[in-house]
Amino acid sequence: MANKILIVDDDVLLRRSLAFNLEKSGFQANTAENAEDALAVIQIDQPDLILLDIGLPGMDGLDAITSIHAQKSIPVIFLTARRSGSDQVMGLNAGADDYIMKPFDFDVLLARVKAVLRRRETVIPNQTEGTIEVGDLTIDFSQHSAQIAGRSLELSPKEFDLLTALALEADHIITTDNLLKRVWGAEYTGEPQVLYVHIRWLRGKVETDPDHPRYILTVRGVGYKFVSKPEVE
């Protein structure tokens, strides 16, 4: 079955052009002119990937991706005319899988779409049911949920993937580069800052004292590890 792509942009000509070319390339394409319409579409027919304009009127792309990921785990590529490096980092920190500048060549966009879809299937083991238990941590793949010491964790899709990657290698150091490849994909070429930010957010949810973590430890100059049996506080 063809992958479904949702195009969210207030430029009607761009929406039509992208939909036409994506369908010629073997995808199913749907469109929305604003974030509110996109959220409604997602509830009816969940896409496999969203092309999301960051500069939408009303709810912008940064707010939209937060609302999307609160409901569904769907990869997002931001489309934007903004050229600031800080905007790119902000978009990736918000949970985008990639970021492409307007105007763009369709073949470049198509390659990015295929790359994101491909790496979403291979980054984390394709486990859709069952659970794993690592010390105090339980991860339920069928519910896309996690608990630690009996406490439920409200995780974004990227936080869930990051915690899973750490838990699968519990008590072993995972290098920064390895974590970036596992969670953001082998083709990710952005700054490692996105990992540092997500580690900080994840600690804020996992640790009782994020400034003195017991579970998610930094190994300076190397990477991180999840401790299955932390020292008693």
3-state secondary structure of 214: coil
Q: Is the pLDDT of residue 182 over 70?
A: yes
- Banded model confidence at residue 187, pLDDT cuts 50, 70, 90: low
- Per-residue pLDDT of 16-70, as tens digits, reads 999 999 999 999 999 999 999 999 999 888 899 999 998 888 898 888 888 887 7
Q: Which domains does the chain have, with CATH numbers?
A: 4-122 (3.40.50.2300), 131-226 (1.10.10.10)
| Tokens describing residue 11 | 């430029």
Q: What angle do CA 127, 132, 137 make, to 5 degrees?
A: 130
Average pLDDT, the chain: 86
b/e map of 106-133 (b: 16 or more CB within 10 Å)?
eeebeebbebbbebbeebbeeeeeeeee
Inter-residue contact 195 to 92 (CB < 8 Å): no
Q: What CA–CA distance (Å, rounded) separates 223 from 125?
A: 21
Q: Is the pLDDT of residue 124 over 60?
A: no
How far is Cα of residue 161 from the mean position of the Cα atoms in its chain? 8
How far is Cα of residue 60 from the mean position of the Cα atoms in its chain? 18
| pLDDT given at position 189 | 65
- Per-residue pLDDT of 57-99, as tens digits, reads 889 888 888 888 777 778 899 998 766 656 666 777 677 878 8
3-state secondary structure of 106: helix
User: Inter-axis angle of helices 61-71 and 35-44, to 10 degrees?
Assistant: 20
* Mean pLDDT on 215-233: 89
